[in-house]
Amino acid sequence: MTVRSSFVVVANRLPVDEVTTSQGREWRRSPGGLVTALHPVLVEHRGTWVGWAGGTGDAPEPFELDGIRLHPVPLSAEELERYYEGSSNATIWPLYHDAVETPVFKRRWREAYRMVNQRFADAAAEVAAEGATVWVQDYQLQLVPAMLREQRPDLRIGFFLHIPFPPIELFMQMPVRAEILRGLLGADLVGFQQRLAAQNFVRLARHLLGLRYEGQVIDVDGRPVRAGAFPISIDVKEMEAMVATPEVQARAKQIREELGNPKTIILGVDRLDYTKGIELRLKAFRELLADRKLTVPEAVMVQVATPSRERVEHYQALRVKVEREVGRINGEFAKVGVPAVHYLHQSYSRSELAALYLAADVMMVTPLRDGMNLVAKEYVAARADTGGALVLSEFAGAATELRQSFLCNPHDPDGVKDALIRAVHVEPVEARRRMRIMQRHLRSHDVRQWAKSFLSTLGVPENE
Ligand code: ADQ
C-alpha cells in the first residue's frame, strides 16, 4: 500500500546513489546542492521525495533512508537520452543560461519531456495526502505543476527554479514556450533565485498569455499565482563544524604541503559545465603567468572539475577544451615536479572539499551565468579563520549577496585578471574584514531559512 505524505518533494533525481560495499549493494545519501538544501526540511516534515533513482528500466520499490521516504520514478534509456540529456540539458539548460552555448531543439525530445513530466506528476499525485503540500524542483519538471493541479486541485503546489529564468526575448525561442509557461503557472508559488528572474516571469505571463499581474502576483483565471525571489543557501553550521575538526584542519595543511607549500593557492571547484567559466579562469591564470604577474612555484592553481552530463555533446567538447588549456599552461609554465595547474576531474567527499577550501588562498568562482553558485557560499562559510579571498562573477546569483568578494565581469578577461591579482595581494586585515561581513550574512541566510521562507510564503504552517 502506498504511504501518503502531507509534504512531498518532486525532483529529477532522488538524493541517493547506489553503492557497492563489502555487504553488497546499498543506498547512500548523495552529495550536491539540492540534497543539502532539502534534506533537513524533509526530515523535519517526515516527507516523501519523488525522483529518478539513476539507472534505466524498472525502478526500485519505494524505501526509506536517513529519515525520509524515497519514491523512485523509472526512466528508460531512450527517455534518459531525450528527456534528460536532450530537452533538459541540451535545450533548456543552455537557453536559460543566456544561450552561452547554442540550445538544440528537437521534436522527439519534447515529446519525451512531456511524457516523463506526466509520470512524475502521476507519482506525486499518488503519494500526496489530501490537502498536502508538493514542492516541485527545477527545470527538468516545469510541466509538473499544471499536470498535478489537473489531477489534484486539493494540493498546495510550489515550484522552485534553481537556474536563471531568461528574459522574454530569449525565452521566446523555445518552441513549446506557452506550454512550459502554463506548466509553471499550475503552481501557487513560483520561486526563483533572483528578483530579476521573477520579474522576467511575470512579464512573460503578460506578454505570452496576456495575463494580468499586480506586483508579483499573476491572475490565472481568477487563481492567484505568486512569483518571488528566494536565494538558496547552504548548511552553514555543517560547514563550520566540518572545518573545525582536527581531521579537516590536518588535511588542509597536508594539501598545502603536497602542493609544495606555495605562497598562493588558487582554487576552482565546479561541475565540468560550460556555464561555470572554467576555461576563462584558466586563461586568466595563464596570461598572468605570461605577464610574470604570477610565477610558479610561488603560485599554483588547483581546478577540481566534477564529471557531469558526459554524454551531452556540449560537455564532451568542453572537456577537450579545458584539458587542452591545462596542458598548454603546464607545458609552458610547470617545472619538473611542480605543475602550474593541478587538474582533478573527480568527485570528492564533503570533508575533502572543505579541506581544499581551507587550504586555498584565493577561490575563483567565475560563471558566465549561474542561478546561485553554492561553491562561493561554501568557501566563505569554510573560512571561519577569516583567511582567504573570493573572486566572484557578477553573473552568479551569489554576487547579489556576497558584495565583499572581488567581483568581476567574466566576459572581460582583463577584469578577471585584475580581480584575481587584487585578491592575491589583498592585505590580510582587509581580507578578514570582507570575509567577516559575508560570513555574518550567510549565518542569518542559510538553507533552513531559505526553505522556511519559501514554505511560509506558500502558506505552509511551521511543523506541518
Ligand atoms: P550546480 O550547477 O550543480 O547547481 P553549485 O551551486 O555550485 O552548482 O552546486 C554544486 C554543489 O556540488 C556544491 O555543493 C559543491 O560543493 C558540490 N561539488 C562540486 N564539485 C564537487 C566535487 N568534485 N565533489 C563533490 N562535490 C562537489 C544548481 C545551479 C546553481 C544553484 C544550485 C542550487 O546551477 O546555480 O546554486 O543548483 O540551487
Q: What is the mean pLDDT of residues 265-283?
A: 97
Domain-embedded: residue 244: yes
Measured in Å, residue 374 CA sits from the centre of ligand 1 at 6
SS (H, E, C) 309-341: CCCCHHHHHHHHHHHHHHHHHHHHHCECCECCE
Q: What is the pLDDT of residue 142?
A: 98
Q: Are residues 261 and 223 in the same domain?
A: no
Domain-embedded: residue 197: yes
Q: How does pLDDT run across 210-249, given as a tens digit for each residue?
A: 999 999 999 999 999 999 999 999 989 999 999 999 999 9
Nearest ligand 1 atom to alpha carbon 396: 35
- Cα–Cα distance, 364 to 417 (Å, whole number): 11
Q: Are residues 288 and 301 in the same domain?
A: yes
Between 350-359 and 246-258, two packed helices, what is the crossing angle to 10 degrees? 60
Nearest residue (CA) to ligand 1, atom 16: 375
Q: Are strands 128-137 and 63-65 parallel, antiparallel or unpaired?
A: unpaired
Nearest residue (CA) to ligand 1, atom 19: 270
Nearest residue (CA) to ligand 1, atom 8: 373
Domain-embedded: residue 191: yes
Q: What is the pLDDT of residue 17?
A: 87
Mutate to test the pocket of ligand 1, among 372, 380, 445, 446 (most ligand atoms within 8 A of CB): 372
420 contacts: CB under 8 Å, gap ≥ 6: 266, 284, 285, 288, 362, 364, 391, 406
Q: Which residue segment(s) compose the domain that 308 sits in?
A: 236-443
Measured in Å, residue 5 CA sits from the centre of ligand 1 at 28
Q: Are residues 276 and 190 in the same domain?
A: no
Nearest ligand 1 atom to alpha carbon 276: 2
Domain-embedded: residue 262: yes
Q: Are residues 59 and 198 in the same domain?
A: yes
Residue 8 pairs in a beta bridge with: 48, 134
Measured in Å, residue 373 CA sits from the centre of ligand 1 at 7
Of the residues 342, 370, 445, 446, which is catalytic? 370
SS3 31: coil
- Cα–Cα distance, 208 to 239 (Å, whole number): 43
Nearest residue (CA) to ligand 1, atom 15: 375
> Among candidates 6, 58, 53, 48, which has minimal Cα distance to 29?
53
Active site residue 97: no
Q: Are residues 201 and 258 in the same domain?
A: no
| Under 8 Å between Cβ of 230 and 449 | no
Percent of the chain with pLDDT over 70: 98
Q: How does pLDDT run across 2-45, given as a tens digit for each residue?
A: 889 999 999 999 988 888 888 888 898 876 656 777 777 788 77
Q: How does pLDDT run across 92-134, given as a tens digit for each residue?
A: 999 999 999 999 999 999 999 999 999 999 999 999 999 999 9
Domain-embedded: residue 56: yes
Measured in Å, residue 378 CA sits from the centre of ligand 1 at 10
Q: Are residues 259 and 114 in the same domain?
A: no
Nearest ligand 1 atom to alpha carbon 305: 23
Nearest ligand 1 atom to alpha carbon 308: 3
Phi-psi region of 215 (alpha: psi -120 to 50; beta: other; left: phi over 0): left
Nearest residue (CA) to ligand 1, atom 4: 33
Q: How does pLDDT run across 175-222, given as a tens digit for each residue?
A: 999 999 999 999 999 999 999 999 999 999 999 999 999 999 999 999
Q: Are residues 35 and 74 in the same domain?
A: yes
Q: Which amino acid is at 20?
A: T
Nearest residue (CA) to ligand 1, atom 23: 347
Q: Are residues 76 and 90 in the same domain?
A: yes
- Cα–Cα distance, 370 to 413 (Å, whole number): 18
Q: In this structure, what C-alpha cell is assigned to residue 395? A: 553573473
Measured in Å, residue 436 CA sits from the centre of ligand 1 at 23
Give the torsion through C-alpha atoms of 418, 423, 429, 435, to 10 deg: 120
Q: What is the mean pLDDT of residues 257-265?
A: 97
pLDDT band at 463 (very low <50, low <70, confident <90, very high): low
Q: What is the mean pLDDT of residues 298-311?
A: 94
Of the residues 162, 314, 342, 445, which is catalytic? 162
Measured in Å, residue 307 CA sits from the centre of ligand 1 at 12
Domain-embedded: residue 152: yes
Q: Are residues 98 and 39 in the same domain?
A: yes
Q: Are residues 220 and 245 in the same domain?
A: no
Nearest residue (CA) to ligand 1, atom 33: 33
Q: Are residues 124 and 182 in the same domain?
A: yes
- 123: phi then psi, degrees, rounded to nearest 5: -65, -40
pLDDT band at 464 (very low <50, low <70, confident <90, very high): very low
Mutate to test the pocket of ligand 1, among 95, 373, 377, 395 (most ligand atoms within 8 A of CB): 373
pLDDT, averaged across the chain = 95
Measured in Å, residue 170 CA sits from the centre of ligand 1 at 25
Q: What is the pLDDT of residue 123?
A: 98
Q: Which amino acid is at 97?
A: H
Measured in Å, residue 332 CA sits from the centre of ligand 1 at 31
Q: What is the pLDDT of residue 271?
A: 93
Domain-embedded: residue 313: yes
pTM of the model: 0.96
Question: E strands, 73-215, where?
Answer: 128-137, 156-160, 189-192, 213-214
Measured in Å, residue 32 CA sits from the centre of ligand 1 at 6
Q: What is the pLDDT of residue 300?
A: 98
Nearest ligand 1 atom to alpha carbon 374: 6
Mutate to test the pocket of ligand 1, among 140, 232, 234, 271 (most ligand atoms within 8 A of CB): 271
Which protein residues touch ligand 1 with a CB less than 6 Å away? 31-34, 162-163, 232, 269, 271, 304, 306, 347-348, 353, 370-375, 378
Mutate to test the pocket of ligand 1, among 239, 346, 357, 375 (most ligand atoms within 8 A of CB): 375
pLDDT exceeds 60 at position 168: yes
Q: What is the mean pLDDT of residues 143-161?
A: 98
Active site residue 411: no
Question: Within 10 Å of residue 347's Cβ, how many Cβ atoms?
Answer: 15
- Cis peptide upstream of residue 297 (ω within 30 degrees of 0): yes
State how many domains the chain has: 2
**What are the C-alpha distances in Å from 271 to residues 8, 37, 217, 308, 464?**
27, 18, 35, 6, 35
Q: Are residues 208 and 242 in the same domain?
A: no
Q: What is the mean pLDDT of residues 391-413?
A: 98
Phi-psi region of 100 (alpha: psi -120 to 50; beta: other; left: phi over 0): alpha
Domain-embedded: residue 205: yes
CATH number at residue 134: 3.40.50.2000
